Amino acid sequence: MNKLFVIAGLILASATVQASDFFTLADQFFSKHVHEGKVAYSTIKSDQAELNALLESIAAFDLKGANSVTQKAFMINAYNVLAIKGIINKYPVKSPMKVSNFFDNKIFIVAGKKMSLNQLEKEKLYPMTKDPRLHFVLVCAAVSCPKLASFAYKPETLEHQLEEVTKKTLNDPDFIRMKGSKVELSEIFNWYSGDFKTKGKSTLDYINQYRTEKFPSSSKVSFYTYNWTLNDK
């Protein structure tokens, strides 16, 4: 019986190391190749060893053996890595929209399952968490996306990271623009309006939770045109 416990413990320890290795690799990758939200695609394209190691880790990750916080952190990082991979496959390219079926191609292996970026976000991650802050940390390789972080999201610091990145994004004058009494929002707030309007509150109510300079409820809201130009460094 003791022998069985030892074996089970070794298996659990191995799975834990695997998860830890993924977050370490992801953190090193983002810190090296992302600067102020821009990605060094040319550098990544010229030497894909780090990217390939991450892809292998994403494919082999044990989601079932991870708790919900670890799953959430893993999928956020996986999405951002895979979005970069989708660009690298066709680089040089000027926009993710120039890549055929960029969001719907089932070309990625995530925790042993073949899926697309949209499936990872809309069928796996968001239904599991119902967290509107995901819209500020999942980055689809375009200039109008929130800025990609130069670090990995980690289970032990995830809540703090999500709060800080959301606050930074919603106070970014390039992401939310104010012109007199008018507020120009990213199309993200239009496409996913239902995610921000909860318990009778408006989108501005949600945004104001994180704003240093609050918007009056009487502000006129519009949505500026999304810039799909590649977030290339």
Taking only the tens of pLDDT, the chain with its 233 residues reads: 444 433 334 333 444 447 789 999 999 999 999 999 999 999 999 999 999 999 999 999 999 989 999 999 999 999 999 999 999 999 999 999 999 999 999 999 999 999 999 999 999 999 999 999 999 999 999 999 999 999 999 999 999 999 999 999 999 999 999 988 899 999 999 999 999 998 889 999 999 999 999 999 899 999 999 999 999 99
Q: Please state, in angstroms and rounded to a whole number, the distance separating the CA atoms of residues 222 and 15.
A: 47
What pLDDT was estimated at residue 180?
A: 82
Q: Check residue 58 and give its pLDDT.
A: 96
Q: What is the pLDDT of residue 48?
A: 98
Q: How many CB atoms lie within 10 A of CB 51?
A: 18
For residue 132, cis peptide bond before it (omega within 30 degrees of 0) = no
Instruction: Answer whether residue 136 is part of any domain.
Output: yes
Q: Which amino acid is at 197?
A: K
Residue 166 lies in a domain: no
The number of folded domains in the chain is 1
Position 5 scores a pLDDT of: 38
| 187 domain residue, yes or no | no
Is residue 158 domain-resident?
A: no
Whole-number pLDDT of residue 200: 86
Flag whether 27 is in a domain.
Answer: yes
For residue 191, being part of any structural domain is answered with no
User: What's the CA gap between 73 and 79, in Å, rounded?
Assistant: 10
CB burial class (10 A; 0-12, 13-18, 19+) of residue 52? exposed
Are 127 and 75 in contact, with CB atoms under 8 Å apart?
A: no
Q: Residue 75: which domain range?
A: 2-153
Is residue 229 situated within a structural domain?
no
Residue 213 lies in a domain: no
